[in-house]
Structure 1
Amino acid sequence: MEFSTIWLFIIAALTLLMIPGPAVFYIMARSINQGKKAGLVSVLGVSLGGAIHVLAGAIGVSAVLMTSATAFNIVKYIGAAYLIYLGCKTFISASDNELSAMPQDSHKKLIKIFYQSAIVEAMNPKTALFFLAFFPQFISPSAGSVTGQFMTLGTLFILLALMSDSLYAILAVTIKKRLLGKKVNAKLQDRLTGTLYIALGLLSTLATPSKS
């Protein structure tokens, strides 16, 4: 791939990443509800989910998914159901503790947040749809392996998203501390976060596959 093409892709990707999407709102909700460490771990999980979409797109699985309305809907509704499940679980488990941030020795909880975040992103067909619509604009068959170019662009995008999402996670914690203070009612935080998860799950059902 030409150096100019890669730079053009980076500029376009950064422009798109500046606009918060469902993954960003999910990460910010984690950060506000459970602290910066949980937010950053969710960023890593979302990045893994995105990497799965990149790999699937490179080998053509995502293309099949986008041309099959049945397959698309199955993935879409499973992902939406999982988000709604997380939302209901967070909403119901709202406690009366002063702080909802996790204690320092919550290694197992962080692992759980990581794989939950990866599942949320991996089961989001909109990500596959976006990659298949965006990446080909910068791929040229004459430049070599299309699969290799897709993987290269995918890796770049995941790295850029990792940095961008991390900034959003930190921003969410900063906003919480400055506007709400450190002592925020944990029950209210959990209910707000649960409501956001449920809303994201419901909104994800509005995704539609591309026309073949």
Structure 2
Amino acid sequence: MDFINLSLLAVFIPTFFVVSITPGMCMTLALSMGMSIGLKNTLYMMYGELVGVGLVATSSVIGVATIMLKYPTIFLILKYGGGAYLFYLGIQMWLSRGKMAINLDEYKYSISKKNLMMQGFITAIANPKGWAFFIALLPPFIDQSLPMFSQLTVLIFMILLLEFSCLIIYATGGKTLRKLLQNSSNVRLINKIAGSMMMGIGVWLAFG
């Protein structure tokens, strides 16, 4: 193929899969939501997260990251605001209250699809480590002798595919754990576990 270096792509795929499958902020969020609201509903968070990852990856390559680094206030607002909101949700879940907690009677949730997508999106774009990772990872896999646009398109497609696969794995794990624990005596335990994880993600996002 004259639009992508297959040798570089063959190394890129396993490299990024290993990085993606390693527990991180977004994967922990998928596990927590899979446990609290199930795989189907967690998909909406994943859609937002994937849009954020695609935006970060593209922006890192074309240089927007340089601008963002010059204006760290943008990062601070996203980091602290997003982290505080996730921490608040975690407290609500830990107390078996709020929109994401499993209802003790009906096992239902009431958080909107839009809010789920926004949580995933903000978590993806507000993590400076994510920006740093893409700035460091992508350039070595770009062949300067081939068209940039075609290479970037293929690499970002593979990134999103691998990221989505890993999110599914984590969310499915959370759903499985929920099924193992889901009875009237363990519902509060599920909420406490998922809530504690959510609070941890909030702190991680704000201060990581």
In percent, how many aligned pairs have the same letter? Answer: 26
* Matches of 1:159 and 1:6, distance apart in 2: 14
Report how far residue 157 of structure 1 moved. 0.5
* Matches of 2:34 and 2:106, distance apart in 1: 10
* Structure 1 counterpart of 2:104, one-letter code: E
Task: Find the partner of 1:102 among 98, 105, 108.
Answer: 108
* Unmatched runs of 5 consecutive residues or more in structure 1: 208-212
- Give the match's secondary structure for 1:141: coil
Per the normalisation by structure 1, the TM-score is 0.79
Q: Match of 1:172?
A: 174
Q: 1:123 to 1:144 in 2, by over 3 A?
A: same
* Matches of 1:100 and 1:162, distance apart in 2: 29
Asked if the contact 1:176/1:182 (under 8 Å) is kept, the reply is no
Coordinate RMSD, CA, aligned: 2.8
* Unmatched runs of 5 consecutive residues or more in structure 2: none
- Give the match's secondary structure for 2:22: coil
* Structure 2 counterpart of 1:102, one-letter code: K
Q: Match of 1:191?
A: 192
Q: Match of 1:25?
A: 28
Q: 1:184 to 1:128 in 2, by over 3 A?
A: farther
2:40 paired with 1:40? no
Equivalent positions of 1:109-148 (< 5 A) are 109-145=112-148, 148=150
* Matches of 2:44 and 2:102, distance apart in 1: 25
Asked if the contact 1:78/1:123 (under 8 Å) is kept, the reply is no
Q: 1:182 to 1:46 in 2, by over 3 A?
A: farther
- Give the match's secondary structure for 2:60: helix
* Matches of 2:83 and 2:152, distance apart in 1: 27
Q: Deviations over 1:156-182 (max 9, x none)?
A: 11111111211221122113323x245
Q: Match of 1:58?
A: 61
* Matches of 1:158 and 1:72, distance apart in 2: 23
* Matches of 1:171 and 1:75, distance apart in 2: 28
Per the normalisation by structure 2, the TM-score is 0.80
* Matches of 1:67 and 1:19, distance apart in 2: 29
* Matches of 1:152 and 1:174, distance apart in 2: 33
